[in-house]
Amino acid sequence: MLAVTGVSVAFERERVLDAVDMHVEPGTIHTLIGPNGAGKTTLIRAILGLHPADRGSITVFGQPVSQGNPAIGYLPQVRSTAPQMRLAGRDFLAAGISGDRFGLPLLSRQAAHDIDRVLEIVHAEALARRPLSEMSGGERQRLLIAQALLGNPRMILLDEPLIGLDPHQQNRVVSLVRDLSRQMKLTVLFSAHELNQLLGSIDRVLYLGHRHAALGTVD
């Protein structure tokens, strides 16, 4: 479970979030909704341990937040795939495992199996040998979700995964995330600008605005 209790966060001396509370049960999908600057990315980074809270507490499956938590997979809002556009899908995932080393890595058997596993989970086997430059935005997003699933996390944080996609691609991404959550009992925190594409696929909504938050249903 993810528990955010009374969390306040400042960024560059400006209060971004104030006394935010949110409890996310395992295997559910929660969406962060709010305009630009409402603090969606800041809250996600606080959960990842990348931006400490000034007040309050955050625990993930009963443990305090920490950087590099293997229980959490992450898809950031700014996705720097441009230098890797010539890579095939499988090589892109392999580079994500090895970091920014020179050349393509020699994978361990376990890492190679993990790549095969996530490609199958997101139905992206056909993208394994295709360069990113030849993929649609929706296909690249599918591959990035596969990257977030490497290591078999129990929760994934998706920061604005629908940006830049047309409505059809958005629907496919939402359907994929919903199926992953249900089939794998995966906890999902999904930030977005609006709810239209998410209706019928999410369990709860955290509305962010003016530094405060309100948790409720989609109704």
pLDDT tens, residue by residue, 52-98: 899 999 999 999 998 889 999 999 986 666 667 888 999 999 887 76
Using an 8 Å Cβ cutoff, are 187 and 27 in contact? yes
Amino acid at 16: V
Q: Please give the structure tokens belonging to residue 215.
A: 């948790």
Q: Which residues of the chain have pLDDT under 50?
A: 100-103
- Asked which of 119, 152, 185 is the last residue of a domain, the reply is 152
Domain finish residue from 152, 184, 211: 152
Last residue of a domain, one of 152, 167, 198: 152
DSSP conformational letter for 154: S
Model pTM score? 0.90
- The domain of 140 spans 81-152
